[in-house]
Structure 1
Amino acid sequence: MYRDETTETAEAAEDGGTGGADAAVAPATVLDHLLVSLQLTDSAFPSGFYTLSHGLEGFAQQGAVGPGGLAVLLHDVLRHGVGPADATALALAHRAAAADDWDTVTATDHRLHATKLGREMRQAATRTGRQLLDLAAEVFGAPGVAHYHRVVTERRAPGTQAVAAGVVYAATGVPVRQAVAADLFAFCVSFAGAALRLRLTDHRLAQVLLRQAAPVIEETTRAALDRGLDDLGATTFAVDIMSARHERAPARLFAS
């Protein structure tokens, strides 16, 4: 047990956690990082992230996806949408926040906001991001979270969800790889929850969907960690079109 936990602590430092000081901290700190990740990705954490369908309701309204196509759609969105955009932004913001480079955090925030072509997606990203910062400032009391919360409150940055998450994870010492993977998993849980409410799946098959996404989350995490700011941006045009149509739908169950 001691060898495993020591290895995890070393990996945490390598992944861009709080640096060399973390490597000498008791193994309980590694467990605390896991607990922070579990709390932030829990559907009971009231950031509003689980009020979103991430474009899935638009696909359902147009009859463009059925139960058999959920996994393919989710994997495509991870690889070509959330991964190159939100996951990449989270990794960049995490590293910059850990280094107190707030100019880079803000630049990443503006870049991610600009890549969200539809009004609905932009509003969803900033609403959940600002709520996350507001709540995390109270829950965790970390100076970095409080600082960026002020930046966003003063309208010096849009406060997108992914960048806000990067700041919170960095401030609480969660290593960057774990942070990216956790947020991608939260996206998948939110997507699966939306599929349930849209009656595109049931509870058992939703769990199968999540398990099938695991290797894609790993792949997407690795790719996100290798990108720079110039590489940030999604190429999921069908999602953008469905989101635009969703904005004009006469009835909507989800905010996006």
Structure 2
Amino acid sequence: MSDTTGALLVSLQLTDSAFPSGFYTLSHSLEGFAQARAVTAESMPELLVDLLRHTVGPSDATALVLAHRAVCAEDWDAVAEVDRRLHAAKLNRELRLASTRTGRQLLDLAGTVVGGPVVQRYAALVAAGTAPGVQAAVAGVVYAACGVDARQAAVGDLYAFAASFVGAALRLRLTDHVRAQVVLRAVAPVIEEVAALALDAELADLGGCVPVADAMSGRHERAEARLFMT
């Protein structure tokens, strides 16, 4: 198997909805919007685009690229700093907890599925408390360990977010299976745009800003009944 084919297969495996990373437990604030009656079937795709452009891209995708870059440079201090910065950028307790739970789940899976010294080295940093193990930073490390280039890694993880979001919309009855696929196809240019910005970003650029989504996440954390972790 060629290196290119191997990297592509790894990327497909990590972004597959069947990969048990814990993404299926997250609505990415969508349930909070639904509980507040602040989203409809018609506005759901617009909310996804806003989150990609203003939260996931500037924070998670940027952290993924920076962590990937630091691993390739064998700069483990930089890897840990990216992870800590992303953790600090998650303003809500619910978001921080969910991102570290899914990140550590991904890291544990990578230790079994991927293995190797890079994953082991990062796992040791997380175990020591030097790095919190936020999902996007972990993904950057794992993609780098598998030889997936930064652009493909960023695009793949952004797609995984979008697929998880529309999957939550399905369970919240904000879409159907066919329209969900239409939405995923429609956001492809946005994913490409956001990934390109992340590839040019530096550590000082890391951080998103969607105050309404933060408020909805805070509201969701105190909800009496919840289908999702976020």
Give yes or no for TM over 0.5: yes
TM-score category, normalised to shorter length: over 0.9
Whether the aligned pair in 2 keeps the contact of 1:142 and 1:172 (CA below 8 Å) is: no
Whether the aligned pair in 2 keeps the contact of 1:41 and 1:186 (CA below 8 Å) is: yes
Matching residue's letter, 1:74: L
- Equivalent of residue 125 in structure 2, options 141, 147, 151: 151
The residue that corresponds to 2:160 in the other structure is: 186
Q: Does 1:201 align with 2:172?
A: no
Q: Does 1:82 align with 2:24?
A: no
How far is the alpha carbon of 1:142 from its aligned partner? Answer: 2.1
Matching residue's letter, 1:254: F
| 1:171-182 matches, cutoff 5 A | 171-182=145-156
Provide runs of 4+ in structure 1 moved above 6 Å: none
The residue that corresponds to 2:33 in the other structure is: 59
Q: Secondary structure in 1 aligned to 2:147?
A: coil
The residue that corresponds to 1:139 in the other structure is: 113
Q: Does 1:129 align with 2:129?
A: no
Matching residue's letter, 1:242: M
- Equivalent of residue 245 in structure 1, options 207, 219, 230: 219
CA RMSD of aligned residues (A): 0.8
Q: Write the distance in 1 (CA, Å) between the matches of 2:162 and 2:116.
A: 27
Greater relative CO (CA pairs within 8 A, separation 6+): 2
CA deviations 1:69-88 (Å, max 9, x no partner) are 01110001000000000000
Q: Secondary structure in 2 aligned to 1:67?
A: coil
The residue that corresponds to 1:10 in the other structure is: none
Q: Does 1:210 align with 2:210?
A: no
Matching residue's letter, 2:80: T
- Equivalent of residue 45 in structure 2, options 49, 54, 71: 71
How far is the alpha carbon of 1:105 from its aligned partner? Answer: 0.5
How far is the alpha carbon of 1:29 from its aligned partner? Answer: 1.2
- Name which one, 1 or 2, has greater alpha-carbon Rg: 1
TM-score norm. by structure 1 comes to 0.89
Q: Which moved more, 1:118-127 or 1:44-53?
A: 44-53
CA deviations 1:89-131 (Å, max 9, x no partner) are 0000001011110000000000000010000000010000011
Using the aligned pairs only, state the percent identity: 63
Structure 2, gaps ≥5 residues long: none
TM-score norm. by structure 2 comes to 0.99
CA deviations 1:159-206 (Å, max 9, x no partner) are 000000000000000000000000000000000000000000000000
CA deviations 1:15-61 (Å, max 9, x no partner) are xxxxxxxxxxxx72111111000110111111112210000000000
How far is the alpha carbon of 1:143 from its aligned partner? Answer: 1.0
Matching residue's letter, 1:70: M
The residue that corresponds to 1:45 in the other structure is: 19
Q: Which moved more, 1:79-88 or 1:40-49?
A: 40-49
Q: Give the paired residue count.
A: 230
Structure 1, gaps ≥5 residues long: 1-26
CA deviations 1:144-173 (Å, max 9, x no partner) are 111101111121111000000000000000
Q: Write the distance in 2 (CA, Å) between the matches of 1:54 and 1:88.
A: 17
Q: Which moved more, 1:73-82 or 1:43-52?
A: 43-52
The residue that corresponds to 1:233 in the other structure is: 207
The residue that corresponds to 2:10 in the other structure is: 36
